[in-house]
Structure 1
Amino acid sequence: MGKLRGFKEFERIDETNVAVTDRVKNYKEFTVPLKEKDIKHQGSRCMDCGIPFCHSGCPLGNLIPDFNDMVHKGEWKRASEILHSTNNFPEFTGRLCPAPCEKACVLGIIDDPVSIENIEKSIVERGFAEGWIIPQPPKTRTGKTVAIVGSGPAGLAAAQQLNRAGHTVTVFERDDAIGGLLRYGIPNFKMEKEIIDRRVAILKAEGIEFKTNVNVGKNYSVKNLNTFDSVVLCGGATVRRSLPVKGIESKGVVQAMDFLTQQTKELFGNPIEGDRIMATGKDVIVIGGGDTGSDCVGTSNRHGAKSVTNFEIMPKPPIGRSEKTPWPFWPLQLKTSSSHEEGCDRNWLINTKEFITNDKGELTALKTVEVQWEIVPGQRPKLVEKEGSEKIWPCDLALLALGFTGPEQTIAEQLGLEVDARSNYKAQNYHTNIPHIFTAGDMRRGQSLIVWAITEGREAAREVDIFLTGQSNLPTKGNGDILSA
């Protein structure tokens, strides 16, 4: 695999970014692709490991050494076939996945790991440019019908797999465009929406029917789902976490997803609900240090915020891999995103105690306290406030990027579906307690990664196919074939 000792000859090279001063002026993607010879050299760094742990790091089981080798040899079309055999949407994961495969790369023990995610993105973009990625409608139809509720990565993956197995698939999306959180939850500067539209056009050409502005359980009765032979619920985990503190209802305290969704809708001239949320000229505080918080930082900078501050209640991670998360596990390690680089005062071990307002109910400041975590073996970590550490922070806009507590319960309640202790839709091998209804993605497993959503959509599709026909030729994890190419 790759060039013999290529990892010793070539250093890791990543895509560069457009300068901060230029990229914050718009909402376009700002990465600068590597030249073809440089990508080939990156593929050459793959070590021909005895046991390639990148496979276990990737929930999809992508055949990573195989497509790296094809890139090294310049066989790009074959690389695209191998990549698509296990991943329906590498153009999404190549931009948005945190790349657990790279954290499990054997080379990463002694050197910089292989740049797997960038190679993946380069392969799929080459595939689209060359016209290799084309619709693959099924040769025959089974006569079975399937409804997919939710058009995020789990729903789209399940839809494509089931359609290619010959079933007639209809995807319902409650928003005005296909993509779920990919559409309105991910800023355009991380993934331009034409990337979604390009893939959806292929799915439509393969025979999948999409229906937007259909909110199952609200403007579309769940009884209508009984007209389908099977149903796959892929609605995601969309119930947002809040803070039980004084002033949470103040004007200027906003959920991150409302902020991000509005920005994308306005960018494309789509109607938005409520007053326009702008960070322009404001002291912005983003509460939550994950990817959504980072997206709020980048968007606020593009609005022209006066200042952007980020709070995280957890300790600051180490710059290098923590001893508590050794290779090949996902590391506890400081992540500095491109949005952080654009301007952000980051603070750890900070807890918000109160949102302070003026007499009009408008947010003017935040009161915080420093905290620490007491660790007692065998017990849950305990949050302890530091006495005398209270502080007032000027703030006109507070963005709550605190993650999600689980899926909405409307459909479960109306269908009589069981849920687990964390409010996720309960399923055994993706089967709910109603025989013909399945669930996958964040709705089943809780808030997770895009790569897990695609994996769950693919695996659920196989279970549905077996339910409908008694058998399935759809691939299992890490075992691709023509049906998923």
Structure 2
Amino acid sequence: MGKATGFMEYKRETAIERNPTERVNDWNEYSVPFSDEVAKTQASRCMDCGTPFCHIGMDIEHTTSGCPVYNLIPEWNDLVYKGKWKEALDRLLLTNNFPEFTGRVCPAPCEGSCTLSIHDPAVTIKNIEQKIIDKGFEEGWITPRIPKERTGKKVAIIGSGPAGLAAADQLNQAGHTVVIYEKADRAGGLLTYGIPNMKLDKAVVERRVNLLIEEGITIHLNTEVGVDILSAEIKKMYDSVIICTGAQKARKLPLEGSDALGIHYAMDYLTDATKDLLNNDFQLNPYLHAKGKDVIVIGGGDTGADCIATALRHGARSIIQFGKHPQLPIKRENNNLWPQFPNVFSLEYAHKEAKEKFGIDIREYSLLTTKFVKDETGKVKELHTIQMEKKRDENGIFVFEEIKGTEKVWPAQLVLIAIGFEGPERQILDAFGVKADRNKVAAKYGDFRTNVPSVFAAGDARRGQSLIVWAINEGREVAHQVDQHLMGDSMLPSVVNM
């Protein structure tokens, strides 16, 4: 695939990032898409590797390897190299409903399992994917696909995140009448309110949502099932229901002083910041605004990085990010072999911006927060921490031990907790009488049925906190199961049921 000697002739390039000093002054996307020629050159690096691992889509040692939607990556790389953009787009859309989302925010596990990455930098798959879909919109190749016939079956989808939208897209194309119920004021779920604009421009999300509406999907906003409409009414009105509410229940940090003003969950902060931007009213809760404050982000993942980038744009005085784990190695270690996702040190877009602003890497590793301290008005004023050492116990299990004498006090007037999510909110599950198992909807992958007849579940609500690309996978797969449930058979694609 591609140019036979491309991987030997050309070095890996990634999308050009705008200058960190300049981009922190706006909310526009931080990177610039490939030009046609750069995309062709990078696509030519795709090897004729015989057995591609880039689209294996599986979990190895609790991390994702390869593409969970099984994108036909070598095929569309070859088409891009040959300048056959329309054919590349068609091939991409066979497996991925929303490449404009994954091409921007997916961590690209496909690149970690690229055969070339065994000995050289991987093919720049993610940036090529974004280029293909963006060109498709630019050229007018993507137009509403109106189903020619309707089956008479009606499906309700609770939640408009990537899983819900993917399921809706598939079922609508199968001819069913699809209605989405979303409790927020905008559709998109975490695509809209969980990911800041500089990573995923909300106009990109709105464009796709509007396209789905043009294709016949109905979306009811500001409508919480169980409050604004009863679950019994939903079940009576629809032939099937799919719960795609995500894993919205934030993991708590129950420490002394955790009720202080100025301590917030990361998703609340990111949601308010995005609403503020989209509404253009600049009426952020003063306790949630970072301007002039010492900000501490607890949690070392992507959500924490997004908080950093947002706080920078709000004008934070200082920012520190606490991580529980030690700093990652520069290169793959022997226990992290290909095709696993490479757990190696990197500077995310937010960390680059912070380093440019403050002159240091703002991340602190192996830290345990022990308590919060309030001032006389009840506002948070400082955090207390202790350093930890990660080691194996006598059973070979990793444990964390506190290191005496490493206690430290950190000033803070805004603390953002980004330590993950426990699972879906129970109200919606209780409303439908759906059983949960270990904080997730009890529904088997590949089947997706809950204990309630005709009620299915998919995405983070069923799977637990995961990647957007897994949410799209589950949306597509649950659509196949629901279509089969309604019609006795299904022509919708399903890798699980092949």
Q: Give distance in 2, aligned partners of 1:167 and 1:119.
A: 33
Name the residue aligned to 1:268.
278
Structure 2 partner of 1:385: 402
CA contact (8 A) 1:61 1:478 kept: no
In structure 2, the partner of 1:207 is: 216
Alpha-carbon offset, residue 476 of structure 1: 1.6
Summarize deviations over 1:61-96 as a string: whole Å, max 9, x none: 100000000000000000000001000000000000
Q: Within 1, Cα distance between the matches of 2:395 and 2:228?
A: 48
Shift of 1:360: 1.1
Identity across matched positions, percent? 49
Deviation (angstroms), 1:478 = 9.4
Deviation at 1:338, TM superposition (A): 0.8
Measured in 2, the distance between the counterparts of 1:336 and 1:154 equals: 29
Query: Is the contact made by 2:192 and 2:205 (CA closer than 8 Å) also made in structure 1?
Result: yes
Deviation at 1:335, TM superposition (A): 2.9
1:74 correspondence with 2:117: no
Alignment match, 1:252: 262
- Over residues 286-321 of structure 1, what are the superposed CA-to-partner deviations in whole Å (9 max), with x where a residue is unaligned? 000000000000011111111110100111110112
Letter in 2 for 1:444: R
Gapped regions of structure 2 (runs ≥ 5): 57-65, 355-360
1:308 pairs with one of 314, 319, 326: 319
Deviation at 1:34, TM superposition (A): 2.5
Residue 180 (structure 2) aligns with: 171
Counterpart for residue 245 of structure 2 = 235
RMSD (Å), alpha carbons: 1.5
Aligned counterpart, 1:483? none
What letter is aligned with 1:416? G
Is contact 1:363–1:396 with CA below 8 Å preserved after alignment? yes
Q: Any conservation in 1 of the 2:257–2:372 contact (CA below 8 Å)? A: yes
Task: Provide structure 1 residue ranges, at least 5 long, that are not aligned to the other structure.
Answer: 481-485
Between 179-188 and 328-337, report the one with greater CA deviation. 328-337
- Cα contact 2:273–2:284 (8 A) shared by 1: no
Question: Does residue 1:473 correspond to 2:482, yes or no?
Answer: no
Q: CA deviation at 1:210?
A: 0.6
Tell me which residue corresponds to 1:338.
Answer: 349
Matches within 5 A, 1:55-70: 55-56=55-56, 57-70=66-79
- The superposition leaves residues 343-393 of structure 1 with CA deviations (integer Å, 9 ceiling, x where unpaired) of 151110000001111111111111000011231264643221101110001
SS in 1 for 2:223: coil
The TM-score normalised by the length of structure 1 is 0.96
Contact 1:324 1:332 in 2 (8 A): no
TM-score by length of 2: 0.94
- Contact 1:152–1:234 at 8 Å: present in 2 too? yes
Describe the SS at the equivalent of 2:436: coil
**Contact kept? 1:262, 1:276, Cα under 8 Å:** no
CA distance in 2, matches of 1:99, 1:378: 34
Higher relative contact order (CA 8 A, sep 6+): 1
SS of equivalent residue, structure 2 residue 372: strand
Q: What is the distance in 2 between the residues matched to 1:370 and 1:425?
A: 36
CA-CA distance at 1:270 after TM superposition: 7.0
Whether the aligned pair in 2 keeps the contact of 1:27 and 1:188 (CA below 8 Å) is yes
Contact map agreement 2:34 2:127 (CA 8 A) in 1 = no
Separation of aligned partners in 2, 1:108 and 1:265:
40
Letter of the 2:238 counterpart: F
1:404 correspondence with 2:413:
no
1:7-406 superposed matches below 5 A? 7-56=7-56, 57-226=66-235, 227-269=237-279, 275=286, 277-343=288-354, 344-376=361-393, 378=395, 380-406=397-423
C-alpha contact 1:86 1:478 (8 A) present in aligned 2: no
Q: Is 2:112–2:338's contact at 8 Å kept on the other side of the alignment? A: yes
- The 1-side partners of 2:389 and 2:348 are apart by 25
CA distance in 1, matches of 2:150, 2:293: 56
Q: In 2 relative to 1, CA 270–25 (structure 1 residues): closer, same or farther, beyond 3 Å?
A: closer
